[in-house]
């Protein structure tokens, strides 16, 4: 079984490097930190590289151990978490020169770039995969590991909201509560703490939000200039796309955010019901989950908007 | 035990009227509908009066049975749910002329106006009290009753977010999921469906939101004119106060909403941590929970704001 192979590789590896995707969210960070703490419990000394670490996750146990650079040239084993594609893996330069890669993920769009791939697209979060995996490995989920895992689950289920959430998700959370984990505190820190910058971006994006196609499409945007003016930090744009999705009648919510290059926009799309925005983003070179996907598109705001609306109109 | 007395009163009553508080939220409506369905399971024919029923809750099982007026002049038994004070009970005119009142609630400020009072201020929702009560009564929580109860729990825990949430809350939710209740669907309908009116009120209130006292107090408001201009429906102002609370550094969020009378404002307050806004609202004749309370204050926007800020400044 794959899990046995994974455990064997971990046991045999002298040195292990844990990596995750760019613009890391709570699931990327939570799963990386949880894996690091878990491996330490069985006597390993793994390293974790995350180069852009949103301040709101600094409260998570073990975040002080995260580094910007690896200490070695190459590794016996790389464990990649929550990352569908090698192109998005931060620290991918180590992949070629290291011996083995284990790819643990829950994205249906995962391209299976690992030597061992453990991909479960039904799991609501990469962190939820770790619950079963650590159980199988007989590594107890203590309060610290549990807190990291919960942060990932809360992030990727929108706070127990998405339809991907399982009975196991709720049972696991009940168990953590009984162990003394402050679930409410983690929830608020992960999902409810708006930095001032996030609030100001929210204010601007809500002001600009347009309802298109008889209210079936919501569209809004944030520019580089906005982010500069409100002193935005990494991650301050997170959650903005959700506002459009929550409006009654909206089937697809689109949020675009200017990249460092003048004429490129990072697209975030969310859908309600059966509309697959991953398919739409795929056409623009992106991907994701059926109800939550993204892409990168060249053009001005108006050009990008037009390209996207044209495609989305076909499905709403 | 009180629960035995309650069951006895229910069994002995020929006719039962279920009532709840004005401006009913998901917990008021969920507990009323759940009680109605539960009593029907044991052969009773209760009536439920709710005079202002937010459209977003119309999906709940049994909502089609709710009436604006009672069919009888008086009742053997009135069951009041989620209502701290007789003054706020819609249908209180029946209380005096009916034989008995059972007061089931989770507000610490409950004034114990019932002949039997079953008040548990530690319960995160009145609906969560019903879980244990129906279990004690041996009335099975089927999918319909469970859906109503879940709607109340989701409303009053802010979607499993507040610190009042218990391991039992999560276990109960897991159980409902296993029974086939679409938890995600109920969550979205209750908390995530913004009517257009709600979105437009949100847009205005966020635009006006002020951060006061070094960012420790958030203040915003909605007028009668706003509600008219956006064609607001009952309940469209719900949730607005939460936006202020979520901003980093905010300790108290204040939202005021003009009543039908020109110079009166309904105050909603939310706090983070140990700040007790119920105490503050009590000084203005209101009340609620430590972290979520309300009151009604006379004056113009500026006057009401000044009165409130003066009191809140003392505690932040």
Distances (CA, A) of B129 to B15, B115, B117, B164, B167: 23, 18, 13, 13, 14
Helix segments in chain B, DSSP class H: 2-12, 26-41, 93-97, 126-136, 143-156, 167-178, 183-187, 196-208, 224-229, 240-245, 277-283, 301-313
- Determine contact: A59 vs chain B, CB below 8 A: no
Judge whether A210 is closer than 8 Å to chain B, CB to CB. Answer: no
Q: What is the pTM for the complete model shown?
A: 0.85
Distance from CA of A170 to the nearest CA of B (A): 5
**pLDDT tens digits along A19-75:** 999 989 999 999 999 999 999 999 999 999 999 999 889 999 999 999 999 999 889
Residues 6+ apart with CB under 8 A from B290: B108, B271, B275, B276, B277, B278
Q: Which of residues 186-205 of A touch B (CB under 8 A)?
A: 187-188, 191-196, 199, 202-203
Does the beta-carbon distance from B167 to A178 stay under 8 Å? yes
The first and second tokens of residue A162, run together, are 């998405």
Q: Which residue has the tokens 């995962």?
A: A110
What's the confidence (pLDDT) of residue B288?
84
DSSP, collapsed to helix, strand or coil, labels residue B228 as helix
Task: Compute the radius of gyration of chain A from its Cα atoms.
Answer: 19
Q: Does residue A171 sit in the same domain as residue A209?
A: no
User: Do B219 and B269 have their domain in common?
Assistant: yes
**Interface ipTM > 0.85:** no
Distance CA B277, CA B316 (A): 10
Q: How far is CA B104 from CA B117, B121, B129, in A?
A: 6, 11, 8
User: A–B: how many Cβ contacts below 8 A?
Assistant: 107
CB neighbourhood size of B67 (10 A): 12
User: Which of B124, B151, B184, B238 is best to mutate for the A interface (most A CBs within 10 A)?
Assistant: B184
Residue closest to A270 by CA, chosen among A261, A262, A260, A280:
A280
Q: What is the 3-state secondary structure (H, E, C) of chain A?
A: CHHHHHHHHHHHCCCEEEEEECCCCHHHHHHHHHHHHHHHHCCCCCEEECCCCCHHHCCCCCHHHCECCCCCCCCCEEEEECCCCHHHECCCHHHHHCCEEEEEECCCCCCCCCCEEEECCCCCCHHHHHHHHHHHCCCCCCHHHHHHHHHHHHHHCCCCCCCCCCHHHHHHHHHHHHCCCCHHHHHHHHHHCECHHHHHHHHHHHHHCEEECCCCEEEEEECHHHHHHCCCCCCCCCCHHHHHHCECCCCEEEEEEECCCCCEEEEEEEECCCCCHHHHHHHCCCEEECCEEEEEEECCHHHHHHHHHHHHHCCC
Q: What angle do CA A162, A165, B153 make, to 5 degrees?
A: 80
Tokens describing residue B29: 């409506």
Domain that holds residue A212: 196-313
**Residues from chain B contacting residue A165 (CB–CB below 8 Å):** 177, 183-184
Rg (CA), chain B: 19
Contact B203, B220 (CB under 8 A): no
Residues A181 and A217 in one domain: no
Q: Which of A164, A192, A220 is the last residue of a domain?
A: A192
Please report, in tens digits, the pLDDT of each residue of chain B (316 residues total). 799 999 999 999 999 999 999 989 999 999 999 999 999 999 999 999 999 999 899 999 999 999 999 999 889 999 999 999 999 999 999 998 899 999 999 998 899 999 999 999 999 999 999 999 999 999 999 999 999 999 999 999 999 998 889 999 999 999 999 999 999 999 999 988 888 999 999 999 999 999 999 999 999 999 999 999 999 988 899 889 999 999 999 999 999 999 987 899 999 999 988 899 999 999 999 988 888 899 999 999 999 999 999 999 999 9
Degrees to nearest 5, angle at CA A61 with A56 and A66? 80
Q: Are residues B169 and B221 in the same domain?
A: no
A160 and B187 within 8 Å at the Cβ level: the answer is: yes
Residue A167 forms contact with B (CB below 8 Å)? yes
B202–A207 C-beta distance less than 8 A: no
Please give the Cα distance from A173 to A204 (Å, whole number).
35
Contact criterion met (CB < 8 Å) for B249 and A196: yes
pLDDT digits 0-9 by tens, A91-126: 999 998 899 999 999 998 899 999 999 999 999 999
Same domain membership, residue B203 and residue B183 = no
Q: Count the domains in chain B.
A: 2
A21 phi/psi in degrees, rounded to 5: -80, 165
Q: Using an 8 Å CB-CB cutoff, list chain B residues near A185.
A: 163
Q: Are residues B135 and B232 in the same domain?
A: no
**Residue A263 shares a structural domain with residue A296:** yes
Say yes or no: A105 and A185 in one domain.
yes
Structural domain ending residue among the three candidates B137, B161, B192: B192
> Which strands make up the sheet holding B252-258, listed edge to edge?
B210-212, B217-222, B252-258, B264-271, B292-298, B287-289
Residue A40: left if φ>0, alpha if ψ -120 to 50, beta else—which one?
alpha
In the predicted model, is pLDDT for residue A1 greater than 90?
no
**Nearest CB neighbour to B248, from listed A170, A178, A193:** A193
Task: Clarify whether residues A83 and A202 are in a common domain.
Answer: no
Sheet order of strands, B116-119 included: B47-48, B16-20, B77-81, B100-105, B116-119
CB atoms within 10 A of CB A126: 30
State residue A94's pLDDT score. 94
Query: Residues B179, B226: one domain?
Result: no
Position A74 scores a pLDDT of: 87
Question: Cα distance from A207 to chain B (closest Cα, Å)?
Answer: 6
SS3 assignment, position B286? coil
Asked if B116 and B20 sit in the same domain, the reply is yes
A47 with A177, same domain: the answer is yes
- What is d(CA B181, CA A208) in angstroms, rounded to the nearest whole number? 37
User: From the list A164, A174, A192, which residue is nearest B174 (CB)?
Assistant: A174
Is residue B209 classed as helix, strand or coil in its secondary structure? coil
Q: Is the Cβ–Cβ distance between B259 and B296 less than 8 Å?
A: yes
CB A18 within 8 A of CB A79: yes
List A residues 214-273 in contact with B (Cβ-Cβ < 8 A).
215, 245-249, 272
pLDDT digit string, tens, across residues A205-217: 999 999 999 999 9
Tokens describing residue B97: 């002329």
Whichever domain contains B130, its CATH number is 3.90.1640.10
CATH code of residue B289: 3.10.310.30
Nearest in space to B253 (alpha carbons), one of B222, B217, B284: B217
Which residue, of A160, A192, A224, is where some domain finishes?
A192
The pLDDT > 70 percentage for chain A reads: 100
Residues of A in contact with B166 (CB under 8 A): 177
- Residue A273's pLDDT band, with cuts at 50, 70 and 90, is confident
């Amino acid at each position: 079984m794959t899990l046995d192979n994974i455990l064997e590789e971990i046991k045999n590896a002298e040195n292990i490097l844990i990596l995750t995707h760019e613009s890391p969210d709570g699931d990327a960070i939570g799963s990386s930190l949880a894996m690091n703490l878990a491996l330490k419990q069985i006597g390993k000394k793994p390293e974790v590289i995350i180069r852009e670490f949103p301040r709101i996750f600094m409260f998570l146990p073990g975040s002080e151990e995260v580094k910007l650079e690896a200490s070695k040239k190459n590794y016996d084993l790389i464990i990649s978490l929550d990352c569908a594609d090698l192109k998005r893996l931060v620290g991918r330069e180590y992949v070629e020169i290291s011996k083995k890669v284990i790819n643990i993920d829950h994205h249906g769009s995962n391209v299976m770039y690992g030597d061992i791939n453990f991909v479960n697209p039904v799991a609501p979060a990469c962190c939820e995969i770790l619950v079963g995996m650590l159980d199988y490995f007989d590594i107890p989920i203590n309060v610290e590991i549990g807190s990291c895992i919960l942060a990932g689950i809360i992030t990727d289920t929108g706070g127990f909201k998405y339809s991907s959430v399982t009975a196991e998700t709720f049972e696991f959370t009940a168990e953590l509560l009984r162990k003394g984990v402050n679930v409410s505190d983690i929830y608020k820190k992960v999902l409810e703490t708006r930095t001032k910058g996030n609030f100001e971006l929210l204010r601007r994006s809500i002001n600009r939000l347009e309802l298109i196609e008889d209210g079936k499409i919501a569209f809004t945007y944030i520019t580089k200039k906005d982010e500069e003016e409100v002193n935005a930090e990494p991650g301050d744009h997170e959650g903005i796309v959700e506002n459009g999705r929550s409006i009654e009648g909206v089937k697809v919510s689109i949020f675009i955010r200017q990249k460092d290059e003048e004429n490129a926009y990072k697209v975030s799309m969310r859908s309600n019901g059966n509309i697959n925005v991953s398919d739409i983003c795929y056409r623009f070179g992106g991907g994701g989950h059926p109800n939550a996907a993204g892409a990168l598109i060249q053009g001005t705001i108006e050009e990008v908007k037009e390209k996207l609306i044209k495609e989305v109109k076909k499905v709403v």
